[in-house]
Structure 1
Amino acid sequence: MGTTNTFYFIALLSCSAVLSLKPEITEGPENLAIVDGSEAVLKCRVFGDPKPIVKWMKDYAEVTGRKYNITADGDLVIHYASYPDSGNYQCYAMNKFGAASASVLLDVKKRTIITDRPENYEVAAGSSATFRCNANADDSLELQIIWLKDGQQIDFENQPRFHMSYDYSLQISDTTELDAGEYTCIAKTAIDEARAKATLTVQDKPNPPQLEGVKCNERTATLHWHPMGDNRAPILRYSIQYNTTFTPDTWYTAGVNVPAFYTYWTVQLSPWANYTFRVSAWNKIGPSTPSSHSEVCSTQPDVPYKNPDNVVGEGSDPTNMVISWEKMPQIEHNGPGFYYLVTWRPNIDGQPWVEEQVHDWQQTQYVVTNTPTFMPYKIKVTAVNCKGKSNVTPMEVIGWSGEDVPLQAPQNFTLVQVTTGTTALLNWNPVPPESVQGHFKGYKIQTWVDGEEDSLKEILVKADASSALVSEFKPFKKNNVRILVYNGRFIGPPSDTLSFHTPEDKPGTVKSFEAYPIGSSAMLLKWEKPIDENGVLTGYNIYYQKVTGTSLGPTQERKKEIDPKFDHAKLAGLEPNTRYRIEIRAKTKAGEGDKYYVEQSTKSVEKVKPDIPQFETSTLPAKEGTAHILVRWIPSLDGHAGTHFVAWYKLKGHPDWSKTNEVTDDDYVILTGLEPGQVYEVKLTAHDGEYFSASEIKDVDTTIGVVVLPRRLRQAAGLPVSLRPRRAQRPLP
């Protein structure tokens, strides 16, 4: 019994060992997401005996060869995976004892690409620098932009000069030398990243040169130096400055464009001065701070090398001559005991020179007294010191003693011809030059109209002229004009005054001009007459053009004349919701004046009734037993006035109304052929398209309220040109 049980136990163990050799997947594949073009490894580690055969299926079709490779461990490796490789994969492990399988999902996503790469950047210290970076990633992945500086991530919270904007750009404000380096943009997702690098070069002004020394000679000094660094912007040139004990706080430039490859330079020196020098380096950012200053170079005295500049002689009154010049700075004195030697004589052969010494080197003038009026002199000023006079011959200039008031007015001042409303030709006899008592500058023609003497106009005419065409007169007025001589300081006595009337001319612009839209196709125009009428106004012309963007359409003219007494008119026949340029020109017999224009838009078509119209009336007497009523529409400028109107009228108490035609081009109409001494009922209807509104009814008595209309209105209405009001006939009591 014991032997039998032992055999059974051994057999059972053998059977168990055989069953355990069936294939088993010990490390199965996991779902994997990768980006396009990368390598995918799908794990499938198996156990079994004999060793199982591993196959891979995609969507139940076996994958093998080409970019697919199954490793000895059973893993599936896909080289350069692309979007079509996405899908479900199955790993099958098989031997003679059985099979095992596992599934996995491979998702191939779009690779992250940097689309806007940062570029190398050069910037001056203190300026701002900007690196741009933008990227595209798979829509299902979250994109993150990270910036590195020299391999270390930038801490934006603790570096306030560094800022990443909404478009991922890196902005660095107030750059310093320490900001120079390599900047890396990382576009990162959960499964991949892309990088792009750029270099920031922060350029600064050069370091100050090292001044090695100065060699002092009798009239020159040679400086030696070497550069101490250009701070990433090449040195372009050097400049050399000096100061002296005369002006220790002021540095002057001795050489401004010393070539960059030079490390020495020779400077010319003046006598009797103590010099110190310094050097600055320049690059495209700017100049370095100056080097330390040199040792002192001292020079021995000598005579002056120049004389004062800009020597002038002119009088401040009729009995003197002021000789003036520019002072010479101490660096030009060249020695102690400096003074100016001022010399003059009348510009007449044989006259002796007179001289005076001016020892104050800051003084710039000398006054010669008791001179004849306006006499020419020869003048020169020489620089002198203890070593002697300047080694340059002083320049002789001609000066003049003082001017006085001219003695004569031009004679025979005559009006030759009035050519236009503003222009007339004048002539005169020239004055003798000696009577001018000064530099003969020319003539002044003065003109004014009565009552405006304080605002006269002056026209300057050359000294050699004896006639002038003057265009400063006022049209259609009595003009006054006179002529006088002037020199450098005074004007002479005036000539006799000429007075003459000028003809009409074109008027000036109107004082103001406004356009108000009324309805959808009309505007009410209002203006003030010109300040300069320049004649008798005969009317106004209105022109208009459509405005489209910046373009103007053809010019059209309002056909009906506007009486000069009017200050308003209606412009009709316009297009709705359209902008117009409208101009007005006043007229005289001489023609149209200058334009004054405004731009305004008409209103849109409104499918509503116009506002209730307002109007005023006046009665007019006439001959042959008829009366007339003037009806003037007063359109509202704020609401919806309509575009035109119709006037209605009837005898009070009569049932039937009469009406005028539609009044489109004017804001008034005259009711003619009425019975005098009667009361008429009058009303208006304002229209815009098919919509209209009626006014209140007014009673108008044709025996009262007589108004004399302008001649043009009477002609337009067919009324007698000359109207005389007559007394109303009333029954006797």
Structure 2
Amino acid sequence: MTGWYTWVYLLYFVSYITASVYIENQLKNLVEDEGARAKFACKASLNPRDQHRLQVTWKHDGSILRNTSGKYTFKVDRNKYILNIHSVELTDAGVYSCRATVGADVDISSAHLTVRGVPDPPQEVQIISCHGHSAEIVWQPSGNNGAKISEFFIQFNTTDDPDSWHQYYESFRGNVQSAFIDLAPWGTYAFRIVAKNAVGISDPSSVTDRTCTPPPDRPDGNPKDVHTRTDKKGMLSIVWTPMHRLYHHGPGFRYHVYWRPRGSTYWDSAIVDEPSASSFEVEVDDVYGIYEVLVKAENDLGESHQPAFVYLGHSGEGEPVASPKDFRLDPTKPVQPHVAHFIWESVDEEVDNIRGRFIGYKLRYWKSSEGRLKKNEVDIIMQEQHSDWAPDVRVALPNLPAYTALRAQVAVMNSHYTGPPSQTIDFFTPEGAPGPVRELHVEATGMKYVLLKWLPPDEPNGVLTGYNIGYQEAINGSFGKFTPLSPRINNPSTLGARITGLETNHQYRFHVTARTKSAPGEPQYIDIKTASGKQQRNYYRLANDELQELYEPFAGAQQAQISLALLMLMNITWFLFR
């Protein structure tokens, strides 16, 4: 009897051992930024016979997690259990636990999730002092939300534009809670502060209740980007970037504009009272003359503390007086169907000839049959200070229509005007490859044939001599080798073809190409499938562009051949088969 009790005890002990469960991979602490995804994973180990008894639950700070809002997703990969927390927020921080149970056996693994966020806005922002052109600002930091505050930024606005906030040029360390800042004269300022950590920048603090108003002063600077514009003949146009209100420094802000011809001793000047103005114009009696110009900032207390820079500019351009000489076709390069080569003498680029900044040439061409009102223009830009200057200019003009009588001329360009044209020359482009045929479609089809129809190309690029037809067979879902059909169509008035000897219920791709004496053109293709069935089905196109099905007796196998169809352009259209 003793042995029997021992056997029962051992059986119970082994059963206890095999029923235990434990978590192999313990959860690891995580640090995530707001908006990121946090992922915990734990792997439960147990006897395979107890797999159906295993239960795993996830908890956050002791509360069971349930995916009621889409916040969490729970995944299982064999015995690996995964918790995903989407778009983590500061409130998601805490202790997360994976609890695995098999009957009375339990194992738990826990880890901490730290969520880092941007700092909370600083508090208690105040102006402690406001003297002259400086102010002292103090504040109290708020929570850093898991990441140490590294910097503070002071922002300010003025009563003139309270919706526009500007950031002070200097930042302040994260352990600082007060700062002295310099203020531009003549403004009423309010302040707010933002904090920055490794995650980002906080929302702004509340705006200070108190304001600070420094006394006015003369401007500290002058307008930038001062230059002249040359698009108006007989005018000197001076342009600059307006100065922001913060830099006016006092009432009565204005611009004082000065100009004089280069080499002159005396300045002319004018006052522009509008602070937002960005230009001034004055009539002059020269074309593209060189001027010295400057623009000063002033207010009622006086002109800027800084001297204004003097800039060189030009008055408005005029039409060039120079005209290219000896304009002709380049005798060393024959005219091609779509390209012609031209040559002419380089113009003298002196200002008196160009009456502006030399840009290059404008080449004009048009069809002789249409006149110059339908001319095309091509700008030929010459590089400034080009070291490879040559007495002649050589240009290739592409994209010309083939087999066309054309006329061309060239003129000088400056930045805004084009001069008188050169002599006009006539030339003729030779034949080229025609464009694609139009409206290629299936007019009728059967088990063994197809009837194709098309229209001539929009761009014949010469005298059409006929059409070529070829096909590709579909083999295992792809089209095979291209096979040309004979005889070729040698009558350009033939605009259709009946192709016979095809396979039943088979996929083909037919190509139709127009040709001239010069070359065949760009092919156009159409995919068709022959009819199937014991009777030979035939389909004919109706007026509504649908195919109507008819039947005719099966004619037996034929060799592939092509029959030509002539489309008669009359009120009624039909095909004559030969």
Report the TM-score when normalising by structure 2: 0.74
| Shift, 1:533, TM fit | 1.8
Where 1:393 maps in the other structure, the secondary structure is coil
Return closer, same or farther for 1:518/1:140 CA change in 2, 3 Å cut-off.
farther
| 1:344–1:377 CA contact under 8 A, matched in 2 | yes
| Shift, 1:612, TM fit | 4.2
| Shift, 1:439, TM fit | 3.8
Q: Please, which runs of 5 or more residues in structure 1 have no aligned partner? A: 1-52, 58-62, 71-75, 83-107, 616-635, 647-660, 670-705, 714-733
CA distance in 1, matches of 2:192, 2:264: 55
The aligned residue for residue 353 of structure 1 is 267
Asked whether 1:558 is paired with 2:477, we answer no
Matches within 5 A, 1:53-452: 53-56=1-4, 64=7, 69=9, 77-79=12-14, 81=16, 124-125=33-34, 138=49, 141=52, 144-154=55-65, 160=69, 176-188=89-101, 190=103, 192=105, 195-210=108-123, 211=125, 225=139, 227-255=141-169, 260=174, 267-293=181-207, 296=211, 299-314=214-229, 317-347=232-262, 349-407=263-321, 409-417=323-331, 418-429=334-345, 434-449=352-367, 450-451=369-370
The aligned residue for residue 515 of structure 2 is 587
Return closer, same or farther for 1:511/1:147 CA change in 2, 3 Å cut-off.
same
| Shift, 1:411, TM fit | 4.8
CA distance in 2, matches of 1:614, 1:227: 84
**How far does the alpha carbon of each residue in 1:267-290 deviate from its partner, in whole angstroms, 9 at most, with x for none?**
554344454443211235432122
Structure with greater Cα Rg: 1
Q: State the AA in 1 paired with 2:97.
A: T
CA distance in 1, matches of 2:354, 2:165: 50
| 1:321–1:371 CA contact under 8 A, matched in 2 | no
CA distance in 2, matches of 1:246, 1:390: 22
Q: State the AA in 1 paired with 2:4.
A: W
**How far does the alpha carbon of each residue in 1:223-248 deviate from its partner, in whole angstroms, 9 at most, with x for none?**
55553222124435433322234433
Return closer, same or farther for 1:522/1:314 CA change in 2, 3 Å cut-off.
same
- Structure possessing the higher relative contact order (Cα contacts under 8 Å, 6 or more residues apart): 2
| 1:541–1:587 CA contact under 8 A, matched in 2 | no
Return closer, same or farther for 1:517/1:268 CA change in 2, 3 Å cut-off.
farther
Return closer, same or farther for 1:546/1:299 CA change in 2, 3 Å cut-off.
farther
Matches within 5 A, 1:585-664: 585-596=513-524, 600=527, 608-613=533-538, 662-664=558-560
The aligned residue for residue 456 of structure 1 is 375
CA distance in 1, matches of 2:271, 2:16: 104
CA distance in 2, matches of 1:177, 1:163: 15
Q: State the AA in 2 paired with 1:184.
A: S
The aligned residue for residue 540 of structure 1 is 468
**How far does the alpha carbon of each residue in 1:192-248 deviate from its partner, in whole angstroms, 9 at most, with x for none?**
555454544343321123457667676666655553222124435433322234433
Report the TM-score when normalising by structure 1: 0.60
| Shift, 1:382, TM fit | 1.4
| 2:284–2:315 CA contact under 8 A, matched in 1 | no
The aligned residue for residue 385 of structure 2 is none
Q: State the AA in 2 paired with 1:609.
A: K
| Shift, 1:317, TM fit | 4.2
Q: State the AA in 1 paired with 2:362.
A: K
Q: State the AA in 2 paired with 1:448.
A: W
Q: State the AA in 1 paired with 2:337.
A: G
Return closer, same or farther for 1:181/1:469 CA change in 2, 3 Å cut-off.
same
Return closer, same or farther for 1:145/1:351 CA change in 2, 3 Å cut-off.
same
CA distance in 2, matches of 1:513, 1:470: 33
Q: State the AA in 2 paired with 1:270.
A: A
Q: Which moved more, 1:168-177 or 1:179-188?
A: 168-177
CA distance in 2, matches of 1:282, 1:601: 67
The aligned residue for residue 37 of structure 1 is none
| 2:120–2:144 CA contact under 8 A, matched in 1 | yes
Q: State the AA in 1 paired with 2:426.
A: S
The aligned residue for residue 623 of structure 1 is none
Where 2:203 maps in the other structure, the secondary structure is coil
| 2:447–2:502 CA contact under 8 A, matched in 1 | no
| Shift, 1:311, TM fit | 1.9
CA distance in 2, matches of 1:592, 1:116: 73
| Shift, 1:446, TM fit | 1.8
Q: Please, which runs of 5 or more residues in structure 2 have no aligned partner? A: 383-388, 541-545, 566-573
The aligned residue for residue 433 of structure 2 is 506
Q: State the AA in 2 paired with 1:509.
A: P
Return closer, same or farther for 1:466/1:275 CA change in 2, 3 Å cut-off.
same
| Shift, 1:383, TM fit | 1.7
**How far does the alpha carbon of each residue in 1:280-339 deviate from its partner, in whole angstroms, 9 at most, with x for none?**
112354321223456655545544332111223336643332222221123223344433
| Shift, 1:79, TM fit | 4.2
**How far does the alpha carbon of each residue in 1:65-87 deviate from its partner, in whole angstroms, 9 at most, with x for none?**
xxx747xxxxx7424657xxxxx
| 2:445–2:538 CA contact under 8 A, matched in 1 | no
Return closer, same or farther for 1:514/1:279 CA change in 2, 3 Å cut-off.
farther
**How far does the alpha carbon of each residue in 1:425-481 deviate from its partner, in whole angstroms, 9 at most, with x for none?**
223455665355444433222222224866532111246874422123210111222
**How far does the alpha carbon of each residue in 1:132-169 deviate from its partner, in whole angstroms, 9 at most, with x for none?**
7797975884665533222233466xx64656668687
**How far does the alpha carbon of each residue in 1:600-645 deviate from its partner, in whole angstroms, 9 at most, with x for none?**
5867x96x42424589xxxxxxxxxxxxxxxxxxxx9787999x96
Q: State the AA in 1 paired with 2:518.
A: A
Return closer, same or farther for 1:453/1:372 CA change in 2, 3 Å cut-off.
closer
Q: State the AA in 2 paired with 1:328.
A: M
Asked whether 1:484 is paired with 2:484, we answer no
| 2:453–2:495 CA contact under 8 A, matched in 1 | no
Select the residue among 380, 393, 396 that pairs with 1:469.
Answer: 396
The aligned residue for residue 568 of structure 2 is none
RMSD after superposition: 4.8
Q: State the AA in 2 paired with 1:663.
A: Q
CA distance in 2, matches of 1:160, 1:378: 71
